Structure formats: structure tokens, C-alpha cells
Chain A
Amino acid sequence: MNGPNRTLTPQNLATPSRGIVMPEGRYCAGAKRRVYDGTALMSLLLITFNTTQTFDSHGKPTDSDNDK
């Protein structure tokens, strides 16, 4: 049973994940990598990203391999 002070839930402890809106990329079959419009990606290597994707606390989209 919850006492009167047991008010913390996952919902009210959660905070917005940092969403990243990536530019559209074109997958280049020859280079076997995605080509972007001049956006530096090095700072984003921690995560696997997608367009207009938000991420969980490990920087991953929902329904993904475990990773962070």
C-alpha cells in the first residue's frame, strides 16, 4: 500500500529526452554510407539517429538493440 508520501512515479520523474532533428540524408550505395547536407556528425556518434527521432535515456530509439 502506498503511504500518503509515496507520490513519486516513473511518469513524474521522467524528463523530456533530447530530440535531434537530423537533416534528410541520402544513402549512397557506392560509399556505403549516408550522405548529409554538410552537417557535422562527429558529436553525434554516441547515438544512432533517425530523422525527427527522439531518444531514450541511452540515446536510442524505442524498440532497438540495447545500446547507449
Chain B
Amino acid sequence: MAARRIPLLRPPAYVRQDGRTLLITHSWDATSDVLVEHLGAENVFRLNSDLYAETVIEIDESSLRIAYGDDAINFEDVAKVVWWKAFNGKISADAYIEAEVRYILREIYNLFEVSGKCVLTRPHSDQYHGKISQMKLARNFFAVPQWCVTLNDSSSRLSNRVVVKSLSSEQVTEGKVLFTREVDPAALASQYPWFTQHLVDAEEDLTVVYLYGRTFGFTLDRRSFEGLDWREHCVTGPLPWQPADLPVWFVDKIRGFMGELQLNFGRLDFLRAGGVTHFLEVNSNGQWAWLDPGGEYGLLQAIVQAVHPRTPMPACG
């Protein structure tokens, strides 16, 4: 597969020992709260997209300065940059201001990316490798349940038990979404776009956080929730995810797959059934903090270490 080439992270020429991490995010983001807590507020400048009205930004040919409250940061003060869901939700009632602010934030990220200071993920990284591209590539590494994406197609390409999913994950109508659910493919109205896949009668979900070559696996017993889609239940309370050891051969497959996609970070979802691990997708901007909120399993520490301003730029080992 000819994956879109993403510039590889390059180490900066030097890292100031008093530099900070610029966290471009949203003031309501709980994962960013966790990062700030563990990095130390003094080591972070948090640029919140939704607080743009109180934020001062000055960029010209030779300088960049961002200020919020009594705090300010200049370009040379930034050791690392983390983009973490800065555009979750609308940030302004004024569409023009919203577009301009988004543009500015993306460009701030771009300026630092050229300087090799960005870690973890990129803005809108799914636009470079969405579910369809991922599944086609994944067949070189994993078992992938047979799938089909159709539009204005009345033929039922999949037989037996089939689930329907959303590609974009956007709301179908106000307040309603399409969770993964079993359907009769012959009953799908053909004029709509459909993403269907063979149903895997799985014993457990497996999710793996990939971080610069390291992997952190967690499993969820499917008997712990009703239906096929654990996401439908996750907002009502924590589900009993358990840390899982991954065999070396499987970790090597993940590394190969992520290397092909040129991703340094992501959360991969799998289903386990009858001794076979089936790939579902990788989310290159996937949430992770709920898997290790207390720092018991090494994931929290690994991410904090990767984004801390006083550690070397992370690289795939």
C-alpha cells in the first residue's frame, strides 16, 4: 500500500534545559488535565483552543509568542509540542473566527513540526490513513474480518452474520449515533453509504496502545457488557479492562503495521475469538488515559516520559 508519507520526527538541534512542553488542546480535555498533573504545571504551556478570547498570540517572521493570564511562552522556550484534541467541539459561535483560530493553531503546530519538536500524534491524522486504507494494509499483518463499503449498491456482498459500523463516527441525527450492531445485509437501503463487516463472535476485546515501538495491551471480557460495542457503555462508568501480555510475534506485527503507516502513536482495536486475534482499526489520536489512570501498568509513565520537556525526543527503538 502506498501510505501517505508523513514527515518523520527529527530530534531538535538542542533542547533547552528550561524548555517547556506546548500542549495544544481544549480546556475541557481530561486527558490533558492528567498530562499536566504528571508533567508538572511549571513544565507545560497549555494552549486551549476554546479559550482563544483570553489568549494572546503574536507570530511574525522571526518570532512566536503565546500568552495566557500571567504566563507566556516564546518559540525558543518550547522543547516539545503535543497536539491533543484541540478541535473537540466548537470553539466560537462566529464561524469566521473559528476558522481563523483553527488555522492559526494548525500553523503553530506546523512551525514546530518543521523544527522536529512534535511528539505523539498530528492534527487530523485519520485523514491520511482511514479505516479502509488501514484494513487493506492490515491484511499483511493480521486476520481482518471480511468487510465491504458500499454506496448505491444493492448487492449483498457479505453473507452469514454481519455488523454495520460508521466510518466517520459522526452523529446520524441530532443526539443519535450508529454503534456497531448486527444487521441483515439484504435489508440495508442501498442508497446509503454502508460499512459492513463479518460479525466476529468474540470472547474479548483487545486494545493496544502503541508508543514509539512500545506496546501496552488491555483486554475486556465481552461478558462484562451487553451488545457488540463497548463504546456504547463506556460513558456510564469504567469497564473492567485488564492489562494483557502480548506475544513477541504479535508485537512485531504491530510494529510492522505502524511502521508502514508511519505512525509513532495510536490505539489499535482487535477482537479475540477462538484463538485468533482480528484487527478492527487503529486510531492515531486514540484516547488512552482511562486504561491506566493510576499509573499501575506503565502506560501513563511512558506517555509522560515521551512528552516531558526534559527527556530526549522519543524514537522507535
The interface size bin for chain A is 35 or more
State how many angstroms separate the Cβ of A7 from the closest Cβ of chain B. Answer: 6
Interface size class of B (residues with CB under 8 A): 35 or more
For B157-180 the 0/1 string (1 means CB < 8 A from A) is 000000010100111110111111
Does B80 have its Cβ within 8 Å of any Cβ on chain A? Answer: no
> How many contacting A-B pairs (Cβ < 8 A)?
188
In the complex, per-residue mask of B276-303: 1 if CB is within 8 Å of any chain A CB, else 0: 0000000111110110010000000000
Write the chain A residue with the least CB distance to B127: A66
Is the Cβ of A47 less than 8 Å from the Cβ of B287? yes
Say yes or no for A16: interface residue by CB 8 A criterion.
yes
Chain A, residues 3-29, CB within 8 Å of chain B (1/0): the string is 101111111011111111010010101
Question: B48 and A46: CB pair below 8 A?
Answer: no
Shortest CB distance B220–A (Å): 12
Across the two chains, which residue of chain B brings its CB closest to A5?
B187
Q: A33–B33 contact, CB under 8 A?
A: yes
Q: With a CB–CB cut-off of 8 A, which chain B residues contact A68?
A: 169, 231, 283, 286-287
Q: Name the interface residues of B179-201: CB closer than 8 Å to any CB of A.
A: 179-181, 183-184, 186-192
Q: Please, how many angstroms separate the alpha-carbon atoms of A33 and B71 in the complex?
A: 14
Q: Is B70 an interface residue (CB 8 A)?
A: yes
Is there contact, CB below 8 Å, between A31 and B164?
no
CB-based contact B189/A2 at 8 Å: yes
- Quick check: B287 and A13 within 8 Å, CB to CB? no
CB closest residue in chain B, given A17 = B177
Of the candidates B154, B178, B190, which one forms a contact with A10 in the assembled complex, judged by CB atoms under 8 Å apart?
B178
Complex: chain A residue closest to B28, CB-CB: A50
- The reply to whether B189 and A6 contact each other, CB–CB distance below 8 Å, is yes
Residues of B bordering A, CB below 8 Å: 26-34, 36-37, 41, 44, 46, 48, 51, 68-71, 85-90, 123-126, 154, 164, 166, 169-173, 175-181, 183-184, 186-192, 229, 231-232, 234-238, 283-287, 289-290, 293
Lowest 4 CB-CB distances: which A-B pairs, in order?
A: A29-B69, A66-B126, A14-B172, A14-B176
